[in-house]
Chains A and B, each alone.
Chain A
Amino acid sequence: MRELALHLLDIAHNSVSAGARNITITIIEDSQVDRLSMTVEDDGAGMDALTVQRVTDPFVTTRTTRNVGLGIPLLKAAAEACNGDLTIQSKPGVGTRLDVVFQRSHIDRMPLGNLAETILTLVVGCPEVHWVFRYQVDGETFEFDDLPIKEELKDIPLTEPAVLAYLRETLENGVARVQQACQS
């Protein structure tokens, strides 16, 4: 995968597959400490210690543990190659938190990619999940919570064209605003 945003989509899907009702995605770029971190927290099924070990190590993984493939090991390797790491904290019946950290300026760090598109496809494609998305670059923050929107819409699907346009623009503008504030 060529973008961190695609890895993020992949990780978030693990949370969906684990039956999470609430998923919070946090991305923080900090140029002071030269860090880029992505966190995905869910209230899904959770994993025991052995399973956590399995999902991070491709050579221990067996294909019988479903929803677990090469996605996490590849992201872990990418982070480690950029002076970062990937950690998972999980508790069966409670949920899972995955943290991945990169040296932001590292030459091998994958570009963040299209964050707005990743969040839009998650929110629209998995509407039964309550999504919270936080993106922070240095001092600037964009926060998106889909609950107020869904409460307003009730049974109207998010794929209603005018709703799609609203979601797309909210996400695109929010991400762009945070990124521009940092560049200026």
Chain B
Amino acid sequence: MDKVKSLEDLKRLRAEALEKRRVKTASGEVQIVVGMGTVGIAAGARETLKAILDYIEKENLSGIVVRQTGNIGLDSYEPIVQVIIGDQPKVTYGRVHPDAARRIMKEHVVGGQIVKDYVIES
């Protein structure tokens, strides 16, 4: 659709998004959680989250929910990003700076392949 410039445009967008949802494949919803406690923020979690949002915008990816959470409790691995796709088990990534975030988006969220380099073994 054309660029959204006003609240009026959002109404149009809503109709289009509902249409898109109806034809969505069965791969399930994607949830991305970014740890945003004090330590996470100091380690660069805002920039990581922004990189994820920019990727969604640039690649026009629908059906992805992005959430912030408090401290995940793995301070030395911050920034931490968790990816949950449909019914698959949650994957926790550590030291996710913007470059790593873009790789996770491309290879895992879009491509379905876990990016082993950043996975935190739990």
Q: Is the CB of A10 within 8 A of B38?
A: yes
Shortest B14–chain A CB gap in Å is: 5
Indicate if the CB atoms of B7 and A120 lie closer than 8 Å. Answer: no
Judge if A159 is at the interface, Cβ distance under 8 Å: yes
Chain A residues with Cβ under 8 A from B68's Cβ?
Answer: 13, 16, 121-122, 125-126
> What total of chain A residues lie within 8 Å of the partner, measured CB to CB?
36
Dominant SS at the A interface? helix
Instruction: Give the total number of A-B pairs whose CB atoms are below 8 A apart.
Output: 98
The one of A17, A118, A149, A159 in contact with B70, judged by C-beta atoms closer than 8 angstroms, is A17
Q: Return the contact of A166 from the options B4, B36, B53, B59 (Cβ within 8 A).
A: B4
Contact residues, B1-49 vs A (CB, 8 A): 1, 3-5, 7, 9-11, 13-14, 17-18, 34, 36-39, 41-42, 46-47, 49
Of the residues A1, A126, A160, A165, contact of B41 by C-beta under 8 Å: A1
The answer to whether B70 and A148 have CB atoms under 8 Å apart is no
Chain A residue contacts of B60, Cβ below 8 A: 161
Of the candidates B18, B50, B57, B67, the one whose C-beta lies within 8 Å of that of A161 is: B57
CB distance from A45 to the nearest CB of B (A): 14
What 0/1 pattern do residues 60 to 89 of B give for CB contact below 8 A with A?
111011111011000000000000000000
Q: Please report the total number of B residues contacting A with Cβ < 8 Å.
A: 37
Contact partners of A166 in chain B: CB under 8 A: 3-5, 9-10
CB–CB A71/B13 < 8 A: no
Q: Which residue of B5, B9, B37, B66 contacts A125 across the interface (Cβ within 8 Å)?
A: B66
The reply on B100 being an interface residue by CB < 8 A is no
Given contacts A117-B50, A159-B53, contact A154 B36 (CB under 8 A): no
C-alpha gap A156/B13 in the complex (Å): 9
* CB pair A156 B50 closer than 8 Å: no
A10 in complex: contacting residue of B11, B41, B61, B62, CB < 8 Å: B41
Beta-carbon contacts of A142-166 to B below 8 Å, as 1s and 0s?
A: 0000001100111011011111111
Q: Using a CB–CB distance below 8 Å, which chain B residues touch chain A?
A: 1, 3-5, 7, 9-11, 13-14, 17-18, 34, 36-39, 41-42, 46-47, 49-50, 53, 56-57, 59-62, 64-68, 70-71
Chain A residues with CB under 8 Å of chain B are: 1, 6, 9-10, 13, 16-17, 67, 69-71, 114, 117-118, 120-122, 124-126, 148-149, 152-154, 156-157, 159-166, 168
Give the 4 A-B residue pairs with the shortest CB-CB distance, closest first.
Answer: A125-B68, A166-B4, A71-B38, A152-B10
